[in-house]
Structure 1
Amino acid sequence: MPYCTPTCRKWSVFGFATFFLVLGVVIIVSWNGLVQSIKDQELNLGSDDTTEYKMWKETPIPMYIEFYLYNWTNSKQVIDAKWLVKPSFEEHGPYTYSEKHIRKNVIFNNNHTVTYMTQRSWHYVPEKSKGSLDDVITTLNPILVTVGSLVKYKHPIVRMGVNFFIKEKGVNITVTKTAREFIFDGYDDPLLDLLKKLHLRHINVPFDRFGWFYSRNNSVDYDGIYNMYDGTDDIQKLGKFAWWNYNHETEYFPNYCGEVNGTSGELWYPIQNDQYAQIFSPDTCSTLTLVRQGTEELHGVVGHKFVGDEKLFDNGTRYPDMKCFSPGDVLPSGVRNVSHCKFGAPAFISYPHFYLADPYYREAITGMTPNKTEHELFISIEPETGIPLHARVAAQINLHLEKIDRITLLEQVRKEYLIPALWFKQYAVLSEDLANQAKMLLILPSIGQYTGFGIIGLGCLLFIIFGFITWNNYRKGRQEETLLNNEEY
């Protein structure tokens, strides 16, 4: 075994000290850039090999949707009293379904975008539900009010003809069906045939049965075709839509209200200091803008919380810049008209139980009990990675009911109502396993910094040892020189 002299050991210590000192400095200087490079490479949709793509292709986070149906408990009394009695409603549910999203027909484009479609599937979860899908529910007849809305400005002869058909088919102002029929299964309705025969302009009803989510389960086409930025050229654009159904804006709302903005709500860029989060919703054919309000912690990961405030469903009554979401409407604040987006049906979206809406809607009927805990819409996003921690979409579908002359069932209505049909709560919570992966991404910069300083500390320690050895050798040399000088004398 080769022998290392004291001088050899000394300079070996010096070499290692220098190496560790330089290595530590290099790690500290370059680590953050290396980590960011890894993030930029993995947190984008540039190819089907990235971590982000694999999580986006088939969302790994468990998702659920709860449906709540409103039963009109006193419809007969209201009609018999010629609408002098307030309509009363009782909430039934939740009828809970698990929800799964799979991206289909994915195309990677040369302009840093991805084109795709989404298949959404739902499966009933009885253990998370209350009641049964066979529960019988009575509600305002949605096809009747749709037909009434479509012909209300037509010539009286047209309305009289429609009214004759309504009487001939024995249509009522209410419809009673099971929960499963109202949600996914659908039911036959003679007025649907009438809609098809009327050949009204811009009205093309693509289904033969009615159900609020009829024909949507496992459908690839229903939500349309999306094109969004993949984040390869700019991570701050990741997940933002470039267009929907080949258009940069929808035909349903004018001005900026019709612009296709925001993300799908499932894939986010690093939001950092953003004060707003925008989600494009095909169900409303428009963008929902949420406002940052505080933070939320989940499994040790802290995210910025963005919530829907009273402005979200304002129609220009309180916030003039929201007027383009409800052109021509004179209803109080708190609802968004989506009738043009829903085949002409007089449908309005609001928060459940008219939460944050003008009291007008709750006072016109009974049974509404809004509260923030149950009815708030929000999403929490980790700001550095853009990973959603907790999301909840809560929205209510209401039908606009008004007096329409020459339609017997509707001409006795004394005022305008928004009759609640159902509300749903869609939610997803990041699992602890995925949260731990997010935490690893977040602490990587600190790991590099601490490692670098630790190696520098080791280098400094070796320099101290080198100094001690050098001093010790110097001291021994002086002692030996003194002894030699004494021997000469």
Structure 2
Amino acid sequence: MACSKKCQKVTLFSISAILLIFGLVLVLTWQGIINSIVKTELSLENENTQQFKFWKETPIPMYLEIYLFNWTNAADFEDGKPWTRKPIFKELGPYTFKEHHSRVNIKYNDNYTVNFNTIRTWHFVPEKTMGSLDDNITTLNAIALTVGNIVKHKSLLVRRGVNFLLEEKQIKLTVTKTVREFLFEGYNDTLLNFLKKIHLKGIDIPFDKFGWFYNRNGSATYDGNFTMFTGADDIDKLGIITRWNQSPKSPAYPGFCGMVNGTSGELWYPLKDSKKISIFTADTCSSLNLEANGSYSTFGIEGNVYAQTERLFDNGTKYPEMACFSPGISLPTGVRNVSQCKFGAPAFMSMPHFYMADSSYLEAVDGLKPDPSKHNFYLALEPNTGLPLKVHASLQVSLYLEKIKGISMFENVQTTMMPVLWFHQDAAITENLAGLAKTLIILPNIGMYTAYGVIGLGFLLCVIGSFITARNNWRGTEDEEPLTQNHL
């Protein structure tokens, strides 16, 4: 089939125009295509998305390391006797557990939110543990301390009555149990059993045993019910918690401190250049705010690091607006009052070993030594997808021991923030998941580079065609022959 010079030029300019138009259309529509892919893969629009599968059964291996503080000189502090020395603590552990999260009772709502409960299960990992679950630990008697905290502002008559009860039941200031009893198994407590029988007003502890993680392993209800944005209508809202136990406010704190906001820490919206993130945790009945602090790289993926600052556990000392995190008590910075979150126990959250807290907490006890490289809290997140690359979460639980008139075991104590335990949760993206993430991360570049490449090729063909046309007239000379099979 013959094609004249004119035919060749028309074909050349036509292909150039098609490539230019296609490239331009790709440039204009690629972001929409990416948004559609991101919505399909990253949102919880329905149970068929990849994100839903990852969220329902967390695929990243997680480990929980728990350290307990053994009160080594507790025998020197007799009940009712004045304190003349500092409590000395020795850190034991870590006692390591493999942790798994799954979501149940999943219910989609009409406003692009989903309701769910989280089941957390832990399995002991002896090869990653220093020590044994049968190690003995001596610490404050949390039940007695809780009773004292609940009645400390009641009348002297009530306090005397409680004191009689404590003495009659021979309740001591300290208790010694094994690690397994203090953590998941729990232990029988004489005072707890008695309180559950008499139903004393204001004291409602819904457990038959005491243990810091008792009744939590495998429970679908302990952490409560959450309502969260699915990201189906707006990917920038993906994972944000709007309600906890059907309420937009936590009952533990007044004002903005009680507002339910942030994510659960496992599912994130595209962060882009966010300077601050929030995580809502059932353990604190509140949100933890982390701030941008550097970068992190793994498997060729670059992420942004968000870490704790001194503002995280300030309680109004340095930042007045944070005072609502310490209702009813004024303390130096560095601890958050979670007593209303722990059934009235005078419990406080802080960084491990009182890292970033006021020096008075550290000076009141012996045996603690903050280590910024070990006792910190940070998350590394890929900014375009919100994918967690690394989780390094560390928190400490302490009990606030203070003088209480009318209760002999508390009348002569030194007011002290007594460390009980701290835990470290560690998780990192696997290489397989990193490969999937890379695909989503480079998609925008693939589309744009392809579009610009097509436009460049179209422009090049257009230049070539123009150059040929400039050297020869459009129709060509009379002696030009059409291109036939014989010329090939």
TM-score (norm 1): 0.92
Give how far 1:363 is off: 0.6
Give the conservation status (yes or no) of the 8 Å contact 2:5–2:475: no
Give the conservation status (yes or no) of the 8 Å contact 1:147–1:195: no
Aligned match of 2:25: 26
Aligned match of 1:390: 390
Give how far 1:458 is off: 3.1
* Structure 1: gaps of 5 or more residues: 482-489
CA distance in 2, matches of 1:457, 1:159: 85
Give how far 1:349 is off: 0.8
Residues 469 and 353 of structure 1, relative CA distance in 2, 3 Å threshold: same
Give a deviation string over 1:276-308, Cα, whole Å, max 9, x none. Answer: 111111111111111222222222222222211
Give a deviation string over 1:140-166, Cα, whole Å, max 9, x none. Answer: 111121122222233444333433333
Backbone CA RMSD of aligned residues: 2.3
* Amino acid aligned to 1:30: T
Give the conservation status (yes or no) of the 8 Å contact 2:71–2:139: yes
Aligned match of 1:276: 276
Give how far 1:430 is off: 1.6
Give how far 1:3 is off: 5.6
CA distance in 1, matches of 2:476, 2:367: 98
Give how far 1:174 is off: 1.4
Task: State the number of aligned residues.
Answer: 479
Aligned match of 2:104: 104
Aligned match of 1:419: 418
* Amino acid aligned to 1:27: L
> Quick one: percent identity of the two aligned structures?
51
Residues 316 and 130 of structure 1, relative CA distance in 2, 3 Å threshold: same
Give the conservation status (yes or no) of the 8 Å contact 2:184–2:217: yes
SS of the counterpart of 1:292?
A: strand
* Amino acid aligned to 2:418: I
CA distance in 2, matches of 1:200, 1:298: 55
Aligned match of 2:133: 133
Give a deviation string over 1:26-58, Cα, whole Å, max 9, x none. Answer: 222222221122212322112111222122111
CA distance in 1, matches of 2:439, 2:32: 16
CA distance in 2, matches of 1:422, 1:308: 19
CA distance in 2, matches of 1:196, 1:476: 103
Aligned match of 2:57: 58
CA distance in 2, matches of 1:376, 1:145: 29
What pairs up with 1:267-416 in 2 under 5 angstroms? 267-413=267-413, 415-416=414-415
Aligned match of 1:449: 448
* Amino acid aligned to 1:417: T
What pairs up with 1:191-206 in 2 under 5 angstroms? 191-206=191-206
CA distance in 1, matches of 2:36, 2:233: 13
Give the conservation status (yes or no) of the 8 Å contact 1:46–1:108: no
Aligned match of 2:439: 440
Instruction: Between 293-302 and 99-108, report the one with greater CA deviation.
Output: 293-302
CA distance in 2, matches of 1:119, 1:295: 31
Give the conservation status (yes or no) of the 8 Å contact 1:103–1:119: yes
Give a deviation string over 1:226-252, Cα, whole Å, max 9, x none. Answer: 111111222222111121111111221
Give a deviation string over 1:115-172, Cα, whole Å, max 9, x none. Answer: 1111111111122221111111111111121122222233444333433333333332
CA distance in 1, matches of 2:318, 2:329: 13
Aligned match of 2:484: none
Give how far 1:103 is off: 0.7
Instruction: Between 58-67 and 292-301, report the one with greater CA deviation.
Output: 292-301
CA distance in 1, matches of 2:57, 2:322: 35
What pairs up with 1:115-126 in 2 under 5 angstroms? 115-126=115-126
Residues 200 and 259 of structure 1, relative CA distance in 2, 3 Å threshold: farther
Give a deviation string over 1:413-455, Cα, whole Å, max 9, x none. Answer: 1x21111110001122122222222222121111112212222
Give how far 1:99 is off: 0.9
CA distance in 1, matches of 2:144, 2:174: 9
SS of the counterpart of 1:410?
A: helix
Give a deviation string over 1:341-385, Cα, whole Å, max 9, x none. Answer: 111111111110001111111111101101211111111222221
Instruction: Between 215-224 and 195-204, report the one with greater CA deviation.
Output: 195-204
Residues 153 and 277 of structure 1, relative CA distance in 2, 3 Å threshold: same
Residues 450 and 372 of structure 1, relative CA distance in 2, 3 Å threshold: same
Give a deviation string over 1:450-475, Cα, whole Å, max 9, x none. Answer: 21222233334444554576678769
Aligned match of 1:173: 173
Give the conservation status (yes or no) of the 8 Å contact 2:390–2:429: yes
Give how far 1:7 is off: 5.4
Instruction: Between 30-39 and 316-325, report the one with greater CA deviation.
Output: 30-39
CA distance in 2, matches of 1:195, 1:354: 33
Aligned match of 1:76: 75
Aligned match of 1:154: 154
CA distance in 2, matches of 1:392, 1:202: 37
CA distance in 1, matches of 2:474, 2:461: 19
* Structure 2: gaps of 5 or more residues: 481-488
Give a deviation string over 1:365-409, Cα, whole Å, max 9, x none. Answer: 101101211111111222221112212221111111122233332
* Amino acid aligned to 1:264: S
* Amino acid aligned to 2:402: E
* Amino acid aligned to 2:411: E
Residues 464 and 406 of structure 1, relative CA distance in 2, 3 Å threshold: closer
Give a deviation string over 1:177-233, Cα, whole Å, max 9, x none. Answer: 111111111111011123324534454211101110000000000010111111122
CA distance in 1, matches of 2:50, 2:223: 25
Aligned match of 2:483: none
Aligned match of 2:91: 91
Give how far 1:274 is off: 2.1
Give the conservation status (yes or no) of the 8 Å contact 1:268–1:386: yes
Instruction: Between 75-84 and 344-353, report the one with greater CA deviation.
Output: 75-84
CA distance in 1, matches of 2:247, 2:159: 36
